Amino acid sequence: MKKAVLFDLDGTLLPMDNDEFTRVYIGLLARKAAGWGYEPEEMVKALWKGTGAMVRNDGSRPNEEAFWSVFKANVTARTPEQIEGDKPLFDRFYTEEFHGAKSTTGDNPEAARLLVRLRGLGLRLILATNPLFPPQAIETRLGWIGLKPDDFEYITTYDNSSFCKPNPDYYREIMHKNGLSPEECVMVGNDIGEDMVPASSAGMDVVLSTDCLINPGGLPVEGFRPTSFGQLFEVIKSL
């Protein structure tokens, strides 16, 4: 029996088309930020550059620091001091206007039931969502499927993480912070490249949730225990 189950969020617990979700989310943020004095096109470019800095983070600083340092350096419409003062506005966006992106996601009433059943087995639950967002954004997305942060023992966010998917060190950092060994963990995700391959490289067992499968490289899925969401409990229990 494993000790901990790590769950991806987008496309695993929360059904979605990532491209459509990102398109709508970025549009909402750009329109809101325009009212704060940002030039929308410049802000979006800076946002993507900051995101790239987080993805390339080597563990030397939190993702939050990596993002804002690059974001500030690529925005001319606002000074670095003004951007620092705007951070609460961005956080508030994720608790308010961000809900407009819910239309691009699906319902998953089975998610809460699955977590309850797994806790009943004594398993520790960790939300291993790519830490590109502040906690407010993750709490909002969890709420769309009737979940809350308290449903998990640990959640990766951009302020508590120094790596991102698909770096295997992202998974190693989770284990280190939670006193877990690879043999004690199973990672459940829908993305071959971001979830299955790097978690396997970190020594974890993996289970591929196929309902919103992402496999742009066309890799064979058989070695990743491909499983529909409704069958996850039995597969995880058997490990």
**Residue 233: pLDDT over 80:** yes
Does residue 135 share a domain with residue 184? Answer: yes
Does residue 175 share a domain with residue 156? Answer: yes
Does residue 175 share a domain with residue 122? Answer: yes
Q: Which long-range contacts (CB under 8 A, 24 or more apart) does 210-213 make?
A: 211/11, 211/15, 212/11, 212/12, 212/15, 212/16, 212/17
Give the CATH number for residue 172. 3.40.50.1000
Does residue 90 share a domain with residue 132? Answer: no
Does residue 118 share a domain with residue 56? Answer: no
Read off the pLDDT of residues 115-163 as tens digits, 9 standing for 90 and up: 999 999 999 999 999 999 999 999 999 999 999 999 999 999 999 999 9
**Domain region containing 85:** 19-102
Does residue 211 share a domain with residue 116? Answer: yes
Read off the pLDDT of residues 40-83 as tens digits, 9 standing for 90 and up: 999 999 999 999 999 999 999 999 999 999 999 999 999 999 99
Look up the pTM and report it: 0.97
